[in-house]
Chain A
Amino acid sequence: MLNNQGRPTTPAAANESAARPRKTFTGNSGLQQEEALLFETGRADVSGVDIDEPEVFTSRLGALERKTPLDLPGFSEPEAVRHYVRLSQKNYSIDAGLYPLGSCTMKHNPRLNEKMARLPGFGDIHPLQPQSTVQGALDLIAELERWLIELTGMQSVAMSPKAGAHGEACGMMAIKAAIEARGEGKTRNVVLVPDSAHGTNPATAALIGYSVRAIPAREDGTVSADAVRSALGPDVAAIMLTNPNTCGLFEKEIAEIAKAIHEAGAYFYCDGANFNAIMGKVRPGDLGIDAMHINLHKTFSTPHGGGGPGAGPVVLSKALSPFAPLPVFSKSGGINKINENAGEFAGSGHHPFGRMTAFHGQMGMYVRALSYMLSHGADGLKQAAEDAVLNANYVRACLADVMSLPFGNRPCMHEALFDDKWLKDTGVTTLDFAKAMIDEGYHPMTMYFPLVVHGAMLIEPTESESLASLDLFIMTLRDLAFGVKRGETDRFTQAPRLAPRQRLDETLAARQPILRWTKPEPVSEAAE
């Protein structure tokens, strides 16, 4: 007889308290599973593979043989797979949703890039294999160099730096080499850095051995040529400026600043982190910039933010090109060559300052970046920059009446910067607001940066978001903003309430960080 009872397909009426149990037996929440450390769950005697004990085994380690167990946790294959899958499910990424992290340019990573990077001729090569066997890969690097030089209007590009700050170091080392070649290495020891700079800029200057002189930003969030001029002197080696700056504003006096810098005998380093806003629109070379890194992982869509290594090639002006680091890629007679020895340049006027990496750079990122460039074309790259700026301005315009803008409601570049004036006396801080965004399923924007703006909220939607996606984001932020104004303080100060972890004590974590797992003392069985 058929069981025509079936299973219930509508939920029983739930009462309020049963709807959200506070704690479960397992500690899991729905299908969101808690995950312990491997060291807490693994056992040394478990292994994912069975290998026969060798029949004849003579150790040749002698006195070096390990006396105590290694204590490495062992797992079966399903246990190991689950561990990493569960961890990956805790990761928020651009593949999961909008990621408005200002100055980070979290844009979509096209799947075509991944397909290209996995071609065996690109994916399976080794930096030490004979150069005659990687001519195609070297052709790709040459083509990428050509695009980067074309887009920036510069003389040459050093490909090897691994990411933004590494690129900054490369550019500043080229500047230092140029200054030393002029015999001014001892006298020029100051680098000018505006207040609104990326934090890595002053850090890089200090790392290279320079002292930093800060330039205050103007009321409107930009740097004035006059302020630069008054900070200039015979002791200045360079300026490090970000354009568009971290307030999301274009530095309008940049050409005048460059002129003043050059007249004073110094060099102009531009932080290219925000190149996504001007790609195809403005060429840094035309602005008088001497060195700029390009974050391939931001502007050219190679994965980042826990998703992969970066790449930070540095474009150099005519004045700095002779100091470009090794390796240098060249081509003659149809054969590509990786020039790795300074001696190869004897008499050529090129004096490489050294090298930034052991090998040649991030090949996988090169492939992805060029794939992005070729699939978009020159016009497509320009449109990406325009759309990024349009999207940011849409967010700014749609939130201007409920949140506050530090520099007035005027057009921004690729990121919209809000301050916390509108939160004054509400009992809600920028941090609280950001945490409430997590409850709504959004990764928070960059907060408390740039430092020149009080309680900053820096939103960079990028060109990846559709109108529908932006509208939902805007409506969510408007709803939160109205929540603040209605005095729903708990929704913010207690947030996140729906995330696997509630508000963490960041102060305690910073003051007493626990950076290493320690094995708990075994419980004595004899204990009564």
Chain B
Amino acid sequence: MSSSYFTKDHEYIRVEGDTGIVGISDYAQEQLGDVVFVELPAKGAKIGKGDQAAVVESVKAASEVYAPVAGEVLDVNGALEGEPGKINQDPAGAGWFFKLKITDVKQLDGLMDEKAYAEYLKTLG
């Protein structure tokens, strides 16, 4: 059973046990427009909560993707490098960025769940 959490910067982390899959939300991909380039972290890299973990570049802008929680990068979605369009088509699925081994699951408490995130999006107009 997995559950998803979101940041104010529109990253999501889908948690299962002590691992989490990180990507950007559907709202984020829509705001960015067509994604044309992705830079992913290195496997094995240790990333702090809120640190820049990846870069996503669209026809409109380049943005950083921050780690929602601290952890070690277990795996990255190498397929994005050839097909960054997956992020637009299926951000929550095939468009995932990287997989983290979460250092401290308590850090998830500071994030929004799906319902809170939906409420947050409403405030953005």
Contacts and interface: CB of A to CB of B under 8 A. Distances in A.
Taking residues whose C-beta sits less than 8 angstroms from the other chain, chain B's interface range is: under 10
B36 A510 contact: yes
B60 A511 contact: no
Interface residues of A, number: 7
Contacts of A510: 34, 36-37, 59
Contacts of B62: 199
Given A199-B62, A507-B59, A510-B37, 8 more contacts: A448-B61, A507-B34, A507-B36, A507-B85, A510-B34, A511-B34, A511-B37, A511-B85
A506 B61 contact: no
Interface of B: 34, 36-37, 59-62, 84-85
Contacts of B84: 511
Contacts of B37: 510-511
19 contacts: A199-B62, A448-B60, A448-B61, A451-B61, A506-B34, A506-B59, A507-B34, A507-B36, A507-B59, A507-B85, A510-B34, A510-B36, A510-B37, A510-B59, A511-B34, A511-B36, A511-B37, A511-B84, A511-B85
Interface in A198-245: 199
A451 B62 CA distance: 10
A507 B83 CA distance: 12
A503 to B, nearest CB: 13
A207 to B, nearest CB: 15
Interface of A: 199, 448, 451, 506-507, 510-511
A448 B60 CA distance: 7
A326 to B, nearest CB: 34
Task: Please give me the 5 A-B residue pairs with the lowest Cβ-Cβ distance, nearest first.
Answer: A510-B36, A507-B34, A448-B60, A511-B36, A506-B59
A445 B117 CA distance: 35
B31 to A, nearest CB: 8
A202 B59 CA distance: 19
Contacts of B36: 507, 510-511
Nearest to B61: A451
A106 to B, nearest CB: 22
A507 B88 CA distance: 12
Contacts of A451: 61
Nearest to A512: B36
Contacts of B60: 448
A213 to B, nearest CB: 11
B18 to A, nearest CB: 29
Contacts of B61: 448, 451
B58 to A, nearest CB: 9
Contacts of B59: 506-507, 510
A228 B85 CA distance: 37
Nearest to A211: B52
